[in-house]
Amino acid sequence: MEKVIEVKNLYKLYRVGDEVVRALDGVDFNIYKGEFCAIVGTSGSGKSTLLNMLAGLEKPTKGEVIISGEHIEKKNEEELVKFRRDNVGFIFQSFHLLGTMNAVENVALPLSFRGVPKEVRLKKADKMLDLVNLGKHKKHMPNQMSGGQQQRVGVARALVVEPKIIFADEPTGNLDSHTSEEVMELMQQVVRQQKKTLVMVTHDNHLATYADRVFHISDGKIIKIEDHRSGTEHTEDRDKAISGNMNPQDTEYLKR
């Protein structure tokens, strides 16, 4: 299987007063092409920090994040912007649709940043809205759509750039339970039909059952990995001295 994401010995440390907080504490895993993976944890577990690292929105204190063979942690901001634009789609909790644009215009927006001609980008956006079953809502403004419909627009917008990877940050956080199920089914369908790699962060263990694999994170460590395809799970030894891999000099700058 082709590795799309490789995470190696990843740490993120913050200084809070005189304390050093390990938001990520020696994280290692791989994600493969065409997988739907969920990162699950409670508030403060490190899941959002991990997603930010994968997307290149934060730099690690130590470790490697390799996406499609490229070391994300070594790129400067300009290189990261280009990398995300060319390779990544995002699905947000709060939809982030522009209220002055209709559905098809919102979906087409990322293509405008790539210099795609208007006629071409609107045609692609139109196709993506058909894919997410919003063919009858293409001209609707965000305030004319339900939360579930707005999130479907968000999914279409993530797909329109033909990304290698889609990152979804609590994508059902603003939806009721029934609509959440519909959006999860859609995301699952997209992964299978479009052969996309999707990484979702959520606090909801039930929603994570839609994923192929689930990474459970607590106190900045991956404590369990479930594979729903094989019905297996692997539990990490919480007493394992992973933190021993972090040398004292690696945290010295935080004490200054």
- What's the CATH number where 57 sits? 3.40.50.300
The pTM assigned to this predicted structure is: 0.85
What average pLDDT score do residues 218-227 get? 95
pLDDT digits (tens, 9 = 90+) for 112-158: 988 899 999 999 999 999 999 998 999 999 999 999 999 999 999 99
The pLDDT confidence band at residue 245, using thresholds 50, 70 and 90, is low
CA 14 to centroid of chain Cα atoms? 22
Domain count, the chain: 1
User: Phi, psi (5° rounding) for residue 54?
Assistant: -65, -35
Top-confidence residue, 74 or 235: 74
Flag the least confident range among 88-92, 131-135, 154-158, 235-239: 235-239
Quote the CA–CA distance of 80 and 160 in Å, as a whole number.
Answer: 19
Q: What is the pLDDT, as a whole number, of residue 252?
A: 47
What average pLDDT score do residues 20-42 get? 95
Question: For the chain, what is the mean pLDDT?
Answer: 89
What range does the domain containing 210 cover? 3-255
Asked if 85 contacts 165 with a C-beta cutoff of 8 angstroms, the reply is no
Count, residues in the chain:
256
What angle in degrees, to the nearest 10, is found between the helix axes of 103-112 and 118-131? Answer: 130
Q: What is the pLDDT, as a whole number, of residue 84?
A: 92
Q: In the chain, which ranges are continuous DSSP H helix? A: 47-54, 77-87, 103-112, 118-131, 147-159, 177-194, 205-208
Flag the least confident range among 52-56, 80-84, 243-247: 243-247
Q: Looking at the predicted structure, is the pLDDT value of residue 241 above 90?
A: no
User: Phi, psi (5° rounding) for residue 90?
Assistant: -120, 140
